[in-house]
Structure 1
Amino acid sequence: MRIGLNLPHYGSLTSPEAVAGVSRAAEALGYDSLWTGDRILAPVRPSDRYPGGDGTMPAEMATYLDPLTALTFAAAGTSRIRLGTSTLNAPWYPPVLLARTLTTLDVLSGGRLDVGLGLGWLRDEYTATGVPWPGRGARLDETLDVLEAIWDAEVVAHEGPRFRVPPSRIMPKPLQRPRPPILLAGLTPQATTRIARRADGWLAVGLPLPYLGSLWQKIRTEAEAYGRDPGTLRMVQRLNPRLTDSPADPARVPATGTLRQLADYAKAAGADEVFIDLTLTVTTEEQMLDLAGRFLDLMRAG
């Protein structure tokens, strides 16, 4: 299992020193990957409930650095560790510009990018970006079409219901060929079908283990029905707990619990890669790196 760490790019640790320091330290500790999420605002009167806890968005999410800029900053101070988004909300971005930014990150990092895309859950963010909430799934599908065309074709051309790219040469191409891995998020039948049909893997979250396993099996079975080898798909799971000193009710893990409870859950989940987001627990870089080191030790232990 590969093990990753969320960058301190939101909450109280949004400083260049923390992003650079945690990136370098994570690589030195032996972490396999660094990850960022995507949030643009914290509404005073939210249109939707936060999908976790009591439905209230964590206060830490009111401060958020741009995910791709933060990863590029991290890339400059590292050489091996992979860089991923979980999850970049693709419908907010014009796909040609998104392709350019993702390609730039892949090139400047030496081919270390994992492109994790999703739809988000907050209608207020669609309002703020001027993107319609209805039809967001179809918009994601067409965005993927444009990304793949730009990354693959010598002469790019696209004619779709939302986007048009005149025949053009768009360079450079990503270092990873034929393209960086594309991971998709989602729990709905439409989302799992999209993953099975065209993604390299699933961006999972902390779910009860039986439900997690059933969704993953559904994706794999459906991928096989599309003529794909399910063994080539990856599950990458994000855990963003509020850690406790004393053991929590097992029914509340992985939303909360001790570091050992989180590690035990991660080992049992069966993901190909798991990454932990410590932002809801820590307030200093030193705390983050201490917990990150202890989590890695627990995950490596038999």
Structure 2
Amino acid sequence: MRIGFSVPQFGPFADPDRTAALCTALEALGCHSLWVADRLLAPLTPAEGYPGGKEMPVRYATHLDPLLALGLAATATERVRLGSSTLNALWQPPLVLARALTTLDLISHGRLDVGIGLGWMREEYTAAGVPWQGRGARLEETLDVLDAVWRSERVVHTGPLWTIPESTVLPKPVQTPRPPVLLGGFTPYALERVGRRAEGWLAASMPLPYLQGLWAVAVEAAERAGRDAAALRRVFRVNPEITAAPADPAETHHRGTVRQLCDHLRLMCSAETDEVLVDLQLTTDSPQEYLDRAAEFMAELAESWDERDRLVCTERAV
């Protein structure tokens, strides 16, 4: 199991100096990765509610740009992987996105994981001037353009939405043949795309039967496409609601004590390449408390590591 945390970028953490300092401190704890999220706006009267039937957290109205925040994290760290969970990639032309992501891979010396999703808020698409309808087809062509830029010496693309004349687009990313691409989503269509096109799935902590049903779709799609399903990565995000007293066992995929939350995450991580992403930005306004809680999750989750990894984490934290 690998352990990641969110890059602090929302609400009181939307301060570049604070973000950079916390990224350095999180790496010193011994985690494996840091991840940005993506919000464009917070409508005052949203037509649709936040996923899960709750109101969107107020602090999401204050945010740093995800790609620039990744640049901060890249310069503030040396070892951890850096990713997006998720980047709403359809709000900009894919050639422009490819250039930005290539630059981030170069800045981080090959530590970038490209995590892409479709988002869920219509208002953001309207504000960005991008149609809500046809998002799946737009994502497919976006992936085509990214591949053309990253894999080809001479880049050319002709599609329904974008045309790139035969061109030279340099430099290329450090990672070959491309930075790993992970896709979000929780529908059969999304999981089929993961198996067919991506290196992994940006998932969430969820009840195990739901996970098993969705993951089977990705595995079958990978096998149909002649790909190695066992090589697919899974990153399980949890936005924890931390309680002092034990919570209902049926809720521990998102609510409970730190131990309950970590016990559920351990159950989900059945492969060595599985990863957890703990987003603590809704649990505190204090940078020190953020780090204290991160250390608590590290200590609990480290029970599933081998002895060598435990020793490395301890040495770095000291």
TM-score, L = length of structure 1: 0.97
Map of 1:229 onto structure 2: 228
Measure the CA separation in 2 of the matches of 1:46 and 1:207: 26
Q: Deviations over 1:50-106 (max 9, x none)?
A: 112x33111121111111100101111211111000000111111011000000000
Report the CA distance between 1:264 and its aligned residue: 0.6
Between 1:90-99 and 1:237-246, the stretch displaced more is: 237-246
Secondary structure of 2:285's aligned partner: coil
Secondary structure of 1:254's aligned partner: coil
Equivalent pair of 2:241/2:254 in contact (CA under 8 Å): yes
Q: Deviations over 1:102-126 (max 9, x none)?
A: 0000001000000000100010000
Q: Deviations over 1:139-193 (max 9, x none)?
A: 0000000000000111101111001111110000000000000000111121111
Measure the CA separation in 2 of the matches of 1:213 and 1:300: 24
Report the CA distance between 1:293 and its aligned residue: 0.6
Amino acid of the structure 1 residue aligned with 2:198: A
Measure the CA separation in 2 of the matches of 1:166 and 1:249: 58
Matches for 1:1-302 after TM superposition, within 5 Å = 1-52=1-52, 54-270=53-269, 272-302=274-304
Amino acid of the structure 2 residue aligned with 1:290: D
Measure the CA separation in 2 of the matches of 1:254 and 1:9: 24
Equivalent pair of 1:83/1:112 in contact (CA under 8 Å): yes
Percent identical pairs in the alignment equals 54
Secondary structure of 2:165's aligned partner: strand
Equivalent pair of 2:4/2:34 in contact (CA under 8 Å): yes
Equivalent pair of 1:48/1:121 in contact (CA under 8 Å): no
Q: CA RMSD in A?
A: 1.1
Amino acid of the structure 2 residue aligned with 1:104: T
Between 1:275-284 and 1:249-258, the stretch displaced more is: 249-258
Equivalent pair of 1:202/1:236 in contact (CA under 8 Å): yes
Equivalent pair of 1:213/1:269 in contact (CA under 8 Å): no
Measure the CA separation in 2 of the matches of 1:216 and 1:185: 12
Between 1:208-217 and 1:160-169, the stretch displaced more is: 208-217
Measure the CA separation in 2 of the matches of 1:190 and 1:213: 15
Between 1:243-252 and 1:123-132, the stretch displaced more is: 243-252
Secondary structure of 2:67's aligned partner: helix
Equivalent pair of 1:238/1:277 in contact (CA under 8 Å): yes
Amino acid of the structure 1 residue aligned with 2:25: A
TM-score, L = length of structure 2: 0.92
Amino acid of the structure 1 residue aligned with 2:47: S
Equivalent pair of 2:187/2:214 in contact (CA under 8 Å): no
Measure the CA separation in 2 of the matches of 1:198 and 1:217: 15
Measure the CA separation in 2 of the matches of 1:17 and 1:51: 31
Report the CA distance between 1:18 and its aligned residue: 2.1
Measure the CA separation in 1 of the matches of 2:41 and 2:251: 27
Report the CA distance between 1:255 and its aligned residue: 2.4
Measure the CA separation in 2 of the matches of 1:84 and 1:47: 30
**Structure 2 residues without counterparts, runs of 5 or longer:** 305-318
Measure the CA separation in 2 of the matches of 1:212 and 1:201: 14
Report the CA distance between 1:211 and its aligned residue: 0.5
Amino acid of the structure 1 residue aligned with 2:206: L
Measure the CA separation in 1 of the matches of 2:222 and 2:35: 26
**Structure 1 residues without counterparts, runs of 5 or longer:** none
Equivalent pair of 2:188/2:217 in contact (CA under 8 Å): no
Measure the CA separation in 1 of the matches of 2:224 and 2:87: 28
Report the CA distance between 1:17 and its aligned residue: 2.7
Secondary structure of 1:39's aligned partner: coil
Amino acid of the structure 2 residue aligned with 1:238: R
Report the CA distance between 1:242 and its aligned residue: 2.0
Report the CA distance between 1:217 and its aligned residue: 2.2
Equivalent pair of 1:117/1:185 in contact (CA under 8 Å): yes
Measure the CA separation in 2 of the matches of 1:47 and 1:160: 32
Amino acid of the structure 1 residue aligned with 2:6: N
Map of 2:315 onto structure 1: none
Measure the CA separation in 1 of the matches of 2:235 and 2:55: 25
Secondary structure of 1:261's aligned partner: helix
Q: Deviations over 1:193-247 (max 9, x none)?
A: 1111111011001221210122112211221122111011011111111212221
